[in-house]
Amino acid sequence: MRPDVLIAGAGPAGSVAALILARAGLRVRLLDRADFPRRKLCGDSLNPGALAVLRRLGLADAVSRRALPMRGMIVTGPGGVQVRGAYPPGVTGLAVARSDLDATLLQQAVEAGAAFEPGVSVGGPVLNRRGRVIGVSVRSGRGGGVRELGAPLTIAADGRRSALAFALGLARHPASPRRWAIGGYFDRGASDPAFGEMHIRRGLYFGVAPLPGGLTNACLVVPRPRRGALADPAGLLVSTLRNDVLAGPRFAGARMVIGPAVLGPLALDVRRPGVEGLMLAGDAAGFIDPMTGDGLRFAFRGAELAAGAALEALGGGAHDPARVLLARRRRAFGSKLRVNRALRRVVSSGPAVSAVEAAARVYPAGIRRLITLAADISAE
């Protein structure tokens, strides 16, 4: 049966959009090249704003079963300054492995009625004579032939390297910033099972998150590496952690049990979140870097916005859903993205990092305010 909506990508944004649309009674076909559970490089943290979206959708309990509550963040600087920022009473985030999160959200979407097809790679959009997207071309398995799938509306939630967004000229990787992430799981290293960590150093930063089962996620973000610098990503990650003035003692005897994974370049600029017949969601709709830990909140909320615009379009209430989505994304994310860009510029400048650290020594409340802002506590 022909679906009402095709969704490329069954990660958090794709699964949340599929769930919302299936609950509304639409026929949804959800495609992904991977099967689930699958590993995905991520900081494995949901900030309070992201958790608020899951609560609104009735998904928080299912996700929380394999998660740890996060009660705040610890931010440190290169000179040894540490600021511990606790969330307000009653406010928490979650630490949950992306493999568990993605599998749980996909299961909820399927239980809501979405049809999931794993092992399907989306190659590009199918256009009619007027240039409207009327479906996608796909390939099943390594040796499968190319075929076309049609639908009145498509949502591209296929990540930072979205085949659909790039084919339509909607996305590009900017010349700056050019950063790469290296992540792995260790058998120890977190300083507090209820707090995430962000360690900002000159020219790089790394996050640390405790996970259920005693695992610790460590994710390092570095600028454009010199040729060959990523030939040994495990060595680079481990040496950075063990040689760090603050994290070093905790990681000195830690063993990497899963990894490493490498991802880059991270940043993705998107000029418009869709065209006629197609809308973008998740990282395919734009991505900066993971420093502020709000990527999953953007994914969940962006999926809500895309699904809402899709429902209006299919119901005859929105003649240009991509334009509607653009306006709503600007209202939802505009101010936060401006803050994120400002923080990115600070982290990219060694003198600026030193100046902020000096200010934090005498006024740590300012960093605590930034921790609260990054947590999206008031966003919902």
What pLDDT sits at residue 313? Answer: 92
Per-residue pLDDT band for 20 (boundaries 50, 70, 90) equals: very high
Arithmetic mean of pLDDT, 39-47:
92
Arithmetic mean of pLDDT, 54-70:
96
Are 12 and 102 in contact, with CB atoms under 8 Å apart?
A: yes
Q: Is residue 75 part of a domain?
A: no
- Are residues 188 and 168 located together in one domain of the fold? no
User: Which ranges in the chain belong to alpha helices (H)?
Assistant: 12-23, 48-56, 60-64, 98-111, 163-167, 233-242, 248-251, 295-314, 321-347, 350-362, 364-374
279-290 pLDDT tens trace? 999 999 998 777
Q: Is residue 154 part of a domain?
A: yes
Per-residue pLDDT band for 316 (boundaries 50, 70, 90) equals: confident
What pLDDT sits at residue 370? Answer: 87
- Are residues 187 and 330 located together in one domain of the fold? no
- Are residues 141 and 280 located together in one domain of the fold? yes
Arithmetic mean of pLDDT, 35-42:
90
- Are residues 143 and 185 located together in one domain of the fold? no
What pLDDT sits at residue 379? Answer: 56
14: pLDDT strictly greater than 90: yes
Q: Is residue 324 part of a domain?
A: yes
Output 176 or 38, whichever has higher pLDDT. Answer: 38
225: pLDDT strictly greater than 70: no
Number of domains in the chain: 2
296: pLDDT strictly greater than 90: yes
Report for 17-31, 304-318, 346-360: range of highest mean pLDDT: 17-31
Measure the CA–CA gap between 378 and 252, rounded to whole angstroms.
Answer: 38
Q: Is residue 282 part of a domain?
A: yes
Q: What's this model's pTM, rounded to 2 decimal places?
A: 0.94
Range name among 150-159, 278-287, 311-320 with the lowest pLDDT average: 311-320
Share of the chain above pLDDT 70, in %: 98
156: pLDDT strictly greater than 70: yes
Q: Is residue 89 part of a domain?
A: no
- What's the CATH number where 320 sits? 3.50.50.60
What pLDDT sits at residue 280? Answer: 97
What pLDDT sits at residue 176? Answer: 77
Angle at Cα 296 formed by Cα 269 and Cα 368, nearest 5°? Answer: 100
157 alpha carbon, distance to own chain's centre? 11
Average pLDDT value for the chain: 92
179-192 pLDDT tens trace? 899 999 999 999 99
Q: Is residue 139 part of a domain?
A: yes
- Nearest to 219, CA basis, from 190, 253, 192: 190
- Are residues 104 and 253 located together in one domain of the fold? no
- What's the CATH number where 234 sits? 3.30.9.100
- Are residues 106 and 33 located together in one domain of the fold? yes
Output 365 or 143, whichever has higher pLDDT. Answer: 365
Arithmetic mean of pLDDT, 310-338:
88
Enclosing domain of residue 103: 5-44+98-174+267-344
Measure the CA–CA gap between 329 and 325, rounded to whole angstroms.
Answer: 6
- Are residues 319 and 201 located together in one domain of the fold? no
- Are residues 354 and 280 located together in one domain of the fold? no
- Are residues 253 and 274 located together in one domain of the fold? no
- Are residues 255 and 274 located together in one domain of the fold? no
245 alpha carbon, distance to own chain's centre? 29
Share of the chain above pLDDT 90, in %: 72
What pLDDT sits at residue 108? Answer: 98
Q: Is residue 69 part of a domain?
A: no
Q: Is residue 85 part of a domain?
A: no
Token pair in block for residue 231: 């030939």
Per-residue pLDDT band for 331 (boundaries 50, 70, 90) equals: very high
- Are residues 103 and 159 located together in one domain of the fold? yes
204: pLDDT strictly greater than 70: yes
Give 30's strand partners. 7, 116
Other C-beta atoms lying within 10 Å of the C-beta of residue 11: 28
- Are residues 192 and 260 located together in one domain of the fold? yes
Measure the CA–CA gap between 185 and 218, rounded to whole angstroms.
Answer: 6
Arithmetic mean of pLDDT, 98-104:
96
What pLDDT sits at residue 343? Answer: 80
